Structure 1
Amino acid sequence: MVTILAEMITLFVFACILGICVIEDVSVLIALFLGLICFVSYALYRKFSLVQIGQMIICGIKEAKTILIVFSLIGMLTALWRAGGTIPFIIYHTLSLIDSKFFVMFAFLLCSLISCLTGTSFGTVSTMGIICMITGKALGISPFYLGGAILSGIFFGDRCSPMSSSALLVCELTGTDIYTNIKNMIRTSFIPFIFTVAFYAITGYASTHRVVSTESVAIFTQNFNLSPWVILPAFTIVILTICKYNIKVTIMWSIISGVFVCLYFQEMSILELLRCLLLGYHTENPELATLINGGGLISMVQTMAIVTISSSYFGIFRNTKLLDKIKEWSNVIAHHSTNFATVLLVSIITAAFSCNQTLATMLTYEITKNLVSDREQLAVYLEDTVIIVSPLIPWSIAATFPILTLDAPMNCIIYAVYLYTVPLWNLFMSFMDSHRRKKASILYS
């Protein structure tokens, strides 16, 4: 009983820390560091030594080493796409094809398409997401609208692409087929997708005040060599991803091609190139800086720190069994609502506490795996909850990385309509199905 009370107090204190920090706009890093102190204190209470706790933390961080490497590469990649003229080229040549009144809708659709092709939300936001954000700013559209639409789009493919690591993780956990899951996911997200497109078309129309014109970004032609060759880094990453190359290898080849473009077509010096890779692309032209500055390894430092601290949580959770009580509660909740509602509630809790989509997915599966006997049904439940709930948690990596990359306001999550219409629609349908089953059982009893 005393242990249960200690668990509840620990989780409550952590929730308060996060809540206060979010309300007061305190850095997520500070919130997570205070949370780490909170969980370390709980582990000490459970009689674990400092050495053991240190080992827990190290084990948790080791599991995140791959994603830390990828983040480093993405930081350098986005700088090269800016400095090499890749992003300016795409913006300049796509503006004439898009009706500015529907640009917010197009941003959602373009990011959805690229995320489906590549299977990566972070890769999409670092490429097409940045392109849409910069182009939208040039049209005078608020980053609030752009950030929400892009966030919705990048997780559309992250959820249902056959190349998505999160979709493949769900398949591995549940022992299901990826293509069967995709078919089921299309069925459960069709109405939310149509609603989202219509919503962005209507609200985006009202939020755009400029006409698309290449004149609005003519500054790119004055500062970059926009030869078709500068598209090589983007072409490389799309082709290699479609060919299912390892994501690190894919980004490395895009970086190599980006270095070539910067040196040969933009005539950068080696020193300028190295500075760009580390500190990002920066220009003294204030008009151009507003549109294109950013990227570099330094831009990923905060995100990498968030990943490091949040990953350390999992090591403590796993060894102290801090979240085990939630598994018992989930069974009780399922008896009074629906299985989907239970999975959704658990996914919100795990996403909030793990701060990481992958860990949240594994925790949600572990807690709810006995609730749903049909593995395919459980797989689509996970895809409709934890996979797209994670980016709705402001301190989650799934939210902070894209938003920091885009330099969008945190409240753009409110405008990420697709991310909450999918779970809400399926929650509604689960209660409707439950009601029909109960009604049928009464009629035939």
Structure 2
Amino acid sequence: MVGNKERQQASHAEKYAWTVPFVLFLGMISALILHESIDIGILLGYGGAVLYARSVGCSIHQVLRATWSGVVNMWRVSVVLLLIGVVIALWMAGGTIPTLTEFGAVFIHNSNVIWIAFLLASGLSMVIGSSLATWGILGPPILALTPPQLYPVVAGALVSGGMVGDRSSPMSTSVLVMSQAVGLSPTTTLTQLLRTVVVPIIFTFFALLILSKGVTLRGHVVVVHDVAFTPKSLLYVMPAILVIGLALWRVSLLYNLLVAVFIGGIFAHFATHESIDHLLHQIWNGYPLALNGKNFAIGGVRPMLQASLLIFTAGAFQGVTSLGGAMEAITERLFARITTRTGFVAVSYGLSIAYTTLLGSQSLSLLMSGNTLLPQFTQRKLRREVVLRIISDSAELVSAIVPWNLLGFQAAVILKVSTLHLIPYAWFIYSALTFSAISTWRYLAQQLKTPFLGDQQKFTELGSEDGKVQ
């Protein structure tokens, strides 16, 4: 009788597992349509996950414990997120970010605005770790220097550059979310992501450079900034150099950010003579920035509180979903039908992209992708770094070019260019995704010596477990 009951529960779990992502998808779409906080959509999904967990036999106590466990697992991500808000505000007040932006603007012409936009956005996003802040800071001034017919191309270059930092910056909150999703330390995650971002950046740069040769226009755009290369101005960029250097030396992200806060506070107080009260106000509310008649708040603790709430809500959803096993059931059914390595790669990347397309939230899609893919890889004794590579180059990046995804929607609003118009020019996203898929396929070919032969055939190891994704 017990065996029959367990089989019935397993059959029920497999049959109705689709309702959990479906309810979440409805919640996210409703929140976007009604212009409500995306947290509301996740809470609706959480409710659906709770009902599903109860239907497969989980007790209220188990649900509450799973909810608390998911929330607690996100505390480090939330703390670092708030520290990043402080750093960005201080670096704006201390002149680090404005100096980097103005240095780049000196060199912008009609003939090079495309690849310069990509390089500037890449550099700034690596410093501040936020694509949204990068687009908000660089978008208006660069597009003001851009001929109208090049708006979609330059917007695509800006989106590409912004996602470089979102994916690989020591200041990026996505790095923390990906670490949580695949069970790696932030330092290990950052090392992997920095190592694999170089080739896509180089490819994208030369592709945009070639494109620029074909759209060279007459004339010279008047530069709106006048920056003198003095020792003092160069000193302003030292905090950024220090943070990137510490990240390369594998200093813990938490300690790195504490150093960044300390150095940023010194620069803001002594270099620009900001008062302590004024700095504290900016640390809390964000640095006020007015561009083209619109006011922005860059960084700060208060704007990050909403993002922290989103992280905690996603953690609660993740905990209860793992308890009910809905996503695992769906994933098992998908991977059980794979017969080739190519199919394994296609399903892995396709599942991650599907989460981004359906859920409408970058952080949530990263968590769901990592949590559902990781068991399939560990079951086959494959390294979790491969899962990191997959979600970093699919769920993380593709979110910027999905019009109804929150990040893609914000990109279109900030840059004032339709997502559908800039999609063809977001080449960093496509190059990173392509190189990543090829690298993953090669890794599987090296690590797995037998082909798939159906449901009964499992992967077997070729040798050591220290194979690396190139």
TM-score normalized by structure 2?
A: 0.68
Match of 1:301 in 2: 305
Q: Is the 8 A contact 1:61 1:308 kept in 2?
A: yes
Change over 3 Å in CA distance of 1:291–1:236 after alignment to 2 = farther
Match of 1:437 in 2: none
Aligned residues: 407
Q: Is the 8 A contact 1:111 1:129 kept in 2?
A: yes
Bigger mean CA deviation after superposition, 69-78 or 86-95 = 86-95
Match of 1:388 among 377, 387, 393: 393
Change over 3 Å in CA distance of 1:85–1:379 after alignment to 2 = closer
Match of 2:250 among 244, 247, 265: 244
Q: In the alignment, does 2:251 pair up with 1:217?
A: no
Q: CA deviation at 1:135?
A: 4.9
Change over 3 Å in CA distance of 1:317–1:299 after alignment to 2 = same
Change over 3 Å in CA distance of 1:55–1:345 after alignment to 2 = same
Match of 1:268 in 2: 274
Cα RMSD after superposing both structures: 4.8
For 2:236, give the aligned amino acid: V
> How far apart, CA to CA, are the structure 1 residues paired with 2:408 and 2:243?
18
Match of 1:153 among 157, 164, 172: 164
Q: CA deviation at 1:94?
A: 2.8
For 1:367, give the aligned amino acid: Q
For 1:366, give the aligned amino acid: P
Q: Is the 8 A contact 2:13 2:329 kept in 1?
A: no
Q: In the alignment, does 2:369 pair up with 1:360?
A: yes
Match of 2:332 in 1: 328
Change over 3 Å in CA distance of 1:384–1:364 after alignment to 2 = same
Q: Is the 8 A contact 2:318 2:367 kept in 1?
A: no
> How far apart, CA to CA, are the structure 2 residues paired with 1:150 and 1:191?
11
Q: Is the 8 A contact 1:196 1:417 kept in 2?
A: no
1:233-275, Cα deviation, whole Å (9 max, x unpaired): 3233233223322212222222222222222232222221111
Q: Is the 8 A contact 1:90 1:131 kept in 2?
A: no
Unaligned runs of 5+ in 2: 1-10, 446-470
When you count helix as a share of all residues, which structure comes out higher? 1
Q: In the alignment, does 2:344 pair up with 1:339?
A: yes
> How far apart, CA to CA, are the structure 2 residues paired with 1:326 and 1:101?
50
> How far apart, CA to CA, are the structure 1 residues paired with 2:401 and 2:54?
25
> How far apart, CA to CA, are the structure 2 residues paired with 1:405 and 1:3?
38
TM-score normalized by structure 1?
A: 0.72
Q: CA deviation at 1:10?
A: 2.9
Change over 3 Å in CA distance of 1:125–1:426 after alignment to 2 = closer
Match of 2:240 in 1: 234
Change over 3 Å in CA distance of 1:421–1:168 after alignment to 2 = same
Q: Is the 8 A contact 1:111 1:150 kept in 2?
A: yes
Query: How high is the sequence identity, in percent, across the aligned residues?
Result: 17
Instruction: Map residues 34-183 of structure 1 onto 2, 5 A cutoff.
Output: 34-99=44-109, 101-109=111-119, 123=129, 125=131, 132-133=138-139, 135-137=141-143, 139-140=145-146, 144-145=155-156, 147-154=158-165, 157=168
Q: Is the 8 A contact 1:102 1:201 kept in 2?
A: no
> How far apart, CA to CA, are the structure 1 residues paired with 2:406 and 2:85?
14
Match of 1:411 in 2: 419
> How far apart, CA to CA, are the structure 2 residues paired with 1:242 and 1:180?
11
Q: Is the 8 A contact 1:29 1:305 kept in 2?
A: yes
Q: CA deviation at 1:171?
A: 10
